[in-house]
Amino acid sequence: MPPLPPYTLALAAAAALAALLLALRALARARRATALTPAFQPFTVVSRRVVNPLSPRPVVFLTLRVSTASLPTGAHVRVRARLRGALVARSYTPTRFDAGECELMVRVYAGGPMSTHLAALRAGDALEMCGPTGLERYGPAGVFSRGAREWRGITHVGMLAGGTGSTPMLQIANAVVADAADATRLALVAFSTGADDVLLEPELRALEARARGALRVTFAASALRAGEARAGLVAASMRALAPRDLAALLALPAARSTMVCVCGPDGFVERAQELLREAGYENVLVW
């Protein structure tokens, strides 16, 4: 085999050095970050971005500097702020935990005191937070748990999300895609009212592309107007689906090795559980 040209070796060395520098930067960031605990304490906002600023209900991503080494996938966090003279607390499910960072997704509602407060935060501001909370967990690969109960040998995961119920699904999907040793196959069906109300389509499509076939994303809207149909967006409502229709959307085996995760409004969750039982899915976890 002929020796590699010098420029090829130089490119490989540069790529290895860049990867090492990124890893060292992440490690340094994690060491500087404060650990999340059951007691509220302030954390610094690192960055903020808005994904649909023209929407009447925009979505804001807040990234905070938090030591996430001990945070399990599937966990919630609780944030607190003094609003109109009173302490108000709300629970959120982070979309991802990275080394030294925690990302929250906030859907902003007009008149919603906490969501409007969070949307107004900028890099350098502080937010009180505690955790982790919640009982549902994913990890290691192929293992789900809720409190003391465990499901092992899970090879396929269906995810049914209504509105902002996509946040725990994003967290699980991010964890699976980031772990090269995790061979779990994921199918996410995200429900919304109309094409204009679809949440996080670019982000989820980008994650689907990075997943190398491990993640399949379908968007379902209950009120599609003429001309709004497009690839990956179907007309469907959880209220109007039959069990076989939901099973077709998931396209996963109704087997012991399949787990279906559900998150959304109460009516959405109740209907999803009913359809899943009738379709033969026995492993269901609600966030």
Rounded to the nearest 10 degrees, the angle between the axes of helix 166-178 and helix 201-210 is 20
DSSP, collapsed to helix, strand or coil, labels residue 191 as strand
Asked whether residue 145 falls in the same domain as residue 270, the answer is: yes
Asked whether residue 85 falls in the same domain as residue 169, the answer is: no
Burial of 26 (0-12, 13-18, 19+ CB in 10 A): middle
Q: Does some domain include residue 82? A: yes
Question: At 203, which CATH number?
Answer: 3.40.50.80
pLDDT digits (tens, 9 = 90+) for 95-145: 888 778 999 999 999 889 999 999 999 999 999 999 999 999 999 999 999
Q: Does some domain include residue 7? A: no
**Domain C-terminal end among 133, 152, 174:** 133
Q: Does some domain include residue 51? A: yes
pLDDT digits (tens, 9 = 90+) for 26-65: 444 444 678 989 999 999 999 999 987 777 888 999 999 9
Asked whether residue 55 falls in the same domain as residue 101, the answer is: yes
Q: What contacts 108, CB < 8 A, 6 or more positions away?
A: 57, 58, 59, 60, 115, 116, 118, 119
Asked whether residue 93 falls in the same domain as residue 143, the answer is: no
Asked whether residue 100 falls in the same domain as residue 237, the answer is: no
Asked whether residue 75 falls in the same domain as residue 56, the answer is: yes
The predicted pLDDT at position 27 comes to 43
Q: Does some domain include residue 276? A: yes
**Domain C-terminal end among 86, 106, 133:** 133
Asked whether residue 231 falls in the same domain as residue 265, the answer is: yes
Distance CA 286, CA 272 (A): 10
Q: Does some domain include residue 188? A: yes
Asked whether residue 71 falls in the same domain as residue 163, the answer is: no
The predicted pLDDT at position 48 comes to 96
Asked whether residue 126 falls in the same domain as residue 198, the answer is: no
The predicted pLDDT at position 17 comes to 54
Residue 11 pLDDT grade (very low, low, confident, very high; cuts 50, 70, 90): low
* Tally of domains within the chain: 2
Percent of the chain predicted with pLDDT > 70: 86
Host domain of residue 195: 136-286
Residue 186 pLDDT grade (very low, low, confident, very high; cuts 50, 70, 90): very high
**pLDDT surpasses 70 at 12:** no
Asked whether residue 172 falls in the same domain as residue 281, the answer is: yes
Asked whether residue 92 falls in the same domain as residue 154, the answer is: no
Asked whether residue 52 falls in the same domain as residue 148, the answer is: no
The predicted pLDDT at position 69 comes to 72
**Domain C-terminal end among 98, 133, 168:** 133
Give pTM, 2 decimals.
0.81
Question: At 114, which CATH number?
Answer: 2.40.30.10
| Bridge pairing between strands 76-83 and 126-133 | antiparallel
